[in-house]
Structure 1
Amino acid sequence: MFQSDSHHYKISISVKLSIILVLGMVMIFGVIGVLNLRLQRSHLMDGVYQNADQVSDIIKRGTRLSMLKNERGRIYQTVKDFAQEPGILKIRIYNKEGRISFSTEPNEMGKEVDVHAEACVVCHAGPLPSANAPIFERARDYRNEEGRHVLGVISPIKSDESCVSAACHAHSADKQVLGVLDVIMQLDKVDTSQHENETRYLYFMGLAITAICLLLIIFIYLMVYRPVNEIVEGTKRVAGGDLDFKINIKSRDEIGGLASSFNSMAEGLKKSQHQLLSAKAYTDNIIRSMSNSLVVVDQDALIRKVNKATCELLEYSPNELIGKPLRMIFAGGYFDDVGLSELPIKHFDISVETTYLSKSGKKIPVLFSGSIVRDDQDKIQGVVCMAQDVSWQTEAMHAGHLTALGELAAGVAHEINNPINSIINFAQIMIDELQRGATLTEEIPTTIIKEGDRVSGIVSSLLSFARERERVKTPVSIYEVLQETLALTETQLIKDGIKLEAVVPHTLPEINGEFQQLQQVFINIINNARFALNEKYPAANPDKILAIFAMPGSLEGRPAVEIIFHDHGTGIPTHIINKVMNPFFSTKPAGIGTGLGLAISHGIITDHNGKIAIESNEGSFTRIIISLPTTPEREAV
């Protein structure tokens, strides 16, 4: 019942309850016992008083006749005989003057008593007792000179008519009390009996208290201590993770209800734990199964968790990454040495294309995004970083670039052929004229220069598209991008009999982007339109038209530029329109195209924070709408 820790002892509630109940019971029984003993003694003394009074009456009746005849010797003998009875210590007779006229102790006869003595104070504290005074006014309980406990009872010797006419008559007729009979009784046996009764009573009371206390302690142990201790043990077991522990208390009282509630709570916790573990296992399985890299960092930008894809991508083991700064996985320059809480929020709340650095030193292009984790007080706890390996996209973009370049080269070769033939023809004319000695006019050299400039411009545009540029977004004019794109594709469109209708104002606002990537998107869309128009109209047709429009617009409430490509080709079936931007999906016959054109275009437009939408009606038209946000004003430093 006593519990201790390293500093002090704790008294359990069962001990406190036992102490309170035992002390309360002892006090109650003690008070009841004292009152009962007093009541018993009072009843016992009442009996003694009555007995003493009866003895006095018997003595007076036994000596009455002798008193009437004034036979003193006979009176004294009778009194002596009564004094021999057990319990009577002595008997005295007082006359009217308070003198002892007779006593069973001869040496007292003739003496006047001390009216202030304890044995006499009852009679002499005032007038003589009334003839009809109750016993309690005529009795005195005291200890004599020898220290013995005695009871003295005085009984008035009354005067009546027979006394007035008797031979001993020596008083007037109006005198009612002639003397006093004083009977002194021993109380030793009474005291002994009382003491034995008290001892016996206390003994049995002690036994009763002890038995009741034991029963109380057993009851408290069984009904309070053990159940409460079992509940406490249960809380410790559950706190330690043992959710299978059950409290085996079947009582229908409050403790039983508490135990039942505890078991229900433990069962609920077990179910919740199972759900949490299942959710954690499910989440861990998702994280392990992710193809994208996931890195969790704390508020100090230290790595705390990585998934399998991250380790495979970077060629590190989890232990080699956990606890390391986040900047170590970047190719350089993206993070500095400060803690995450000191970095601008924009470093983590945007998606950017950056480069990871593997353990072997390999640079891996990734699309990086981060989500900040905050607590209830809105303080940064860490960041969940996601990265998608875009190596294949880069390679696909490069392949698409080469494919477009190849298609352009075929058209450019045809376009260059005409001005070269013109140059050759005019050069031959010049030779013929010079051989004849004719004078050359300015027309022929001017035409040669014009056709040469035409060839130079075509080659320059082709070289500009073919050249690998640094992938840096800068303010770009959509007008210029479309102008160069059409310079490369217009010859092919004319060759295929496609009529081009282009409305592109040169006053369009600039957008922030990569010139070459946007050009690749536009070339890919134009080539798809060429294929669809040629499929529907193999020969010339008035409806074989490609329309290109560019105009100011809006994107999610921000200023933007909208570029629309509209053709009247074969269109796209409704059931596949949502798949055409998936990688490697193509509606073209096998061997024609890679299925990456629109997927790459979608990736480029998304990287430019824009959107691309496709509207189509099979057999009627296809409309591709590209929205790109305009260049924002520079933020004040």
Structure 2
Amino acid sequence: MRVLRTVSVRLVAGTLLLLLVSFALLSTVLVRYFSDRLTDQAVDAAHQISEFMAGSTRYSMLLNRKQDAYQSMRRIARSPGVVGVRIFNKVGVVTFSSRAEEVGGRVDPQAEACVGCHQPGAPRQSIDESGRVRLYRTPEGMRVVGVITPVRNDPSCAGAGCHPPPAERPILGVFDVRTSLAGVDAAIGEARRRLFAGAAVAFVVVGVAAVLLLDATVRRPIRALARGTRELAAGHLEYRIPALPGDEFGALGASFNAMAASLLEAQQENARWSRTLEERVREKTEALERIHRQILHVEKMASLGALAASVAHEVNNPLSGILTYARLNRKRIERSEDRSPLLRQISEDLELIARESERCGQIVRNLLLFSRAPHEGELRPVAVGEVLQRALALVAHRLQLAEVRVETRVEPPDLTVTGDEGQLEQALVALVVNAQEAMPDGGTLTVTAEALPDGAVRLAVADTGSGIAAADLPHLFEPFFTTKPRGQGVGLGLSVVYGIVQRHGGTIDVRSEPGRGSVFTIVLPPPGATAVAAATAASPAPGTRNP
């Protein structure tokens, strides 16, 4: 059975078995000792009866008053516990017995009463005390102790004239007193029962105490340790074994708790490192994805810039010719004296052609501005606060009409940046106008400029307008992309801003949520890095060429 395989059960069973064997052996030894003591007392009592009978009848025998002696022996024979009293002479003839049927009979020299003296050869003249005692059982099963007392022929007996001298007959006869051991056996049986009953009670009490002690000192600690190992195997590293006694189990429990605490700490440390690693991997992944998007965006914008430059150059020449000849023919018509309606209509048409050609030329110039890099000589220290104030002054009337409240902050006030002052002003004007158009019902425009710890400069234009849809954010800086209704813009404003920022070696970013406004952020590099960044921005993207 499984339960018998446990250490605690086997230890309890072994302890109980050891207690059972110990109590059984102790009870057996005590019963044997008690039995021997009672038997010795019975033998001593038989000796005393025999000696008393010999002494009490001696005087009557010296006076040859046998009947008086016999009467005394009969009274002794009727005493409780006395089975019988008899006297037989040296040849074994029973001369007196408390049982009349034994008188005159002969006792076999090899009987239990005579064999001690009648050894092969001559009879022994004396025998020690232990040899005069015999223990035997009657046919009814009763134990009997018999004691023989030799009647010696001393001079007083020989002088009475009834016995020969002691030298001729040293032993006249033998007193044989037999007493029953029934009372002794009953006492021994009662003592045995009480002793075994007491041993059984003691075994139960000691056994229960031993079981409780083993349960408290062995079984419970083992169960606590076993449960702790199961909890630990199940991954419950926060489990702790309750306080155990201050013995080996207590030391083992303390070691177990220390091990569990170390494992829990290691697991938590691994979890922290895992979370940190996951966070770092996520950050690096997001950074790589952002850089990848930026690279793709830069390549796309570079390709669009190259394409725009090519298209601008190819379109600019015909437009210049169209504009020149339209103006030339209009001047010819104005110098002509002919004022016919047809010529006036032709003059107005030429004016329309010239005006639209100029608008197309402006678009071409913006395309060139989007794709062209400034010369290094054009970059000089620029006071950011002054550029910001001029840009806001250019659109102040427009902002006032739109009920837009303006907030500015420049930290530090003397903040400077290396760049093209005109292009930076143009970029700021474009962003402010874009923010104002996003707030047709008024709002707050916040323009800030601040120095970063690495020396770079951050410009931010924030509005509280309608915001930009997430699907439109990746295309904001592409040429000709616009969210305005048809006819209200060609979508070159933000692309021009992007080109200006790229030519200054900076970055531009936008954060926006529909209904919560937008924030355009420009970061321009430190003065020493501007020229290098500008040269890098001017280099063609793979697969493209400079116009």
**Which residue is 1:188 aligned to?**
182
Match among 112, 115, 137 for residue 109 of structure 2: 115
2:161 pairs with 1:167: yes
Letter paired with 1:33: S
Deviation at 1:398, TM superposition (A): 10
After superposing the two structures, state which structure 1 stretch, 20-29 or 103-112, moved more: 20-29
* Contact persistence 2:4–2:10 (CA under 8 A): no
**Which residue is 2:320 aligned to?**
none
Matches within 5 A, 1:145-164: 145-164=139-158
Q: What secondary structure is seen at the aligned counterpart in 2 of 1:231?
A: helix
Deviation at 1:104, TM superposition (A): 0.7
TM-score scaled by length of structure 2: 0.54
Whole-Å Cα distance in 2 between the matches of residues 43 and 162 of structure 1? 38
Q: How many residues align?
A: 338
Q: 1:278 to 1:10 in 2, by over 3 A?
A: farther
Deviations along 1:418-463, one digit per CA (max 9) or x if unpaired, are xxxxxxxxxxxxxxxxxxxxxxxxxxxxxxxxxxxxxxxxxxxxxx
Whole-Å Cα distance in 1 between the matches of residues 297 and 124 of structure 2? 137
Deviation at 1:291, TM superposition (A): 2.6
Whole-Å Cα distance in 2 between the matches of residues 129 and 55 of structure 1? 24
**Which residue is 1:269 aligned to?**
263
Q: 1:172 to 1:255 in 2, by over 3 A?
A: closer
Whole-Å Cα distance in 2 between the matches of residues 591 and 106 of structure 1? 152
Letter paired with 2:295: W
Deviation at 1:402, TM superposition (A): 9.3
Deviation at 1:110, TM superposition (A): 1.2
Deviation at 1:123, TM superposition (A): 4.1
The CA RMSD over aligned residues, in Å, is 3.9
Deviations along 1:562-604, one digit per CA (max 9) or x if unpaired, are xxxxxxxxxxxxx99xxxxx99877454994235869x99xxx
Match among 85, 102, 115 for residue 91 of structure 1: 85
Whole-Å Cα distance in 2 between the matches of residues 54 and 82 of structure 1? 12
* Contact persistence 2:155–2:166 (CA under 8 A): no
* Contact persistence 1:246–1:263 (CA under 8 A): yes
* Contact persistence 2:96–2:103 (CA under 8 A): yes
Deviations along 1:65-116, one digit per CA (max 9) or x if unpaired, are 1222222212211111111111111001110111111111111111111233
Q: Percent sequence identity over matched residues?
A: 28
In the alignment, structure 2 segments of 5+ residues that lack a partner are 310-374, 381-453, 456-504, 508-524, 543-547
Q: What secondary structure is seen at the aligned counterpart in 2 of 1:116?
A: coil
Between 1 and 2, higher relative CO (CA 8 Å, sep ≥ 6) is seen in 2
Letter paired with 1:594: T
More helix by share: 2
Matches within 5 A, 1:401-420: none
In the alignment, structure 1 segments of 5+ residues that lack a partner are 295-308, 314-387, 407-529, 536-574, 577-581, 602-637
Match among 206, 209, 216 for residue 215 of structure 1: 209
**Which residue is 1:28 aligned to?**
22
Whole-Å Cα distance in 2 between the matches of residues 263 and 596 of structure 1? 67
Matches within 5 A, 1:68-467: 68-125=62-119, 128=123, 130-131=125-126, 133-291=127-285, 389=292, 392=295, 396=299, 399=302
Q: What secondary structure is seen at the aligned counterpart in 2 of 1:51?
A: helix
Whole-Å Cα distance in 2 between the matches of residues 200 and 172 of structure 1? 54
Q: 1:184 to 1:591 in 2, by over 3 A?
A: closer
Q: What secondary structure is seen at the aligned counterpart in 2 of 1:210?
A: helix
More strand by share: 1
**Which residue is 1:13 aligned to?**
7
Letter paired with 1:137: G
Deviation at 1:392, TM superposition (A): 2.0
Q: What secondary structure is seen at the aligned counterpart in 2 of 1:78?
A: helix
2:37 pairs with 1:43: yes
2:536 pairs with 1:594: yes
**Which residue is 1:503 aligned to?**
none
Q: What secondary structure is seen at the aligned counterpart in 1 of 2:536?
A: coil
Matches within 5 A, 1:530-569: none
Deviation at 1:146, TM superposition (A): 3.4
Whole-Å Cα distance in 1 between the matches of residues 117 and 66 of structure 2? 24
**Which residue is 1:62 aligned to?**
56
Deviation at 1:117, TM superposition (A): 3.6
Deviation at 1:140, TM superposition (A): 0.7
TM-score scaled by length of structure 1: 0.47
Q: What secondary structure is seen at the aligned counterpart in 1 of 2:150?
A: strand
Letter paired with 1:593: A
Q: 1:172 to 1:260 in 2, by over 3 A?
A: closer
Whole-Å Cα distance in 2 between the matches of residues 596 and 70 of structure 1? 167
Whole-Å Cα distance in 1 between the matches of residues 3 and 10 of structure 2? 13
Whole-Å Cα distance in 1 between the matches of residues 254 and 160 of structure 2? 97
Deviation at 1:51, TM superposition (A): 1.1
Deviation at 1:58, TM superposition (A): 0.6
Deviations along 1:265-324, one digit per CA (max 9) or x if unpaired, are 222222111111111111111222223799xxxxxxxxxxxxxx6xxx9xxxxxxxxxxx
Larger gyration radius, structure 1 or structure 2: 2
Q: 1:10 to 1:281 in 2, by over 3 A?
A: farther
* Contact persistence 2:137–2:144 (CA under 8 A): yes
Deviation at 1:205, TM superposition (A): 1.0
* Contact persistence 1:89–1:184 (CA under 8 A): yes
Deviation at 1:10, TM superposition (A): 5.0
Q: 1:595 to 1:119 in 2, by over 3 A?
A: farther
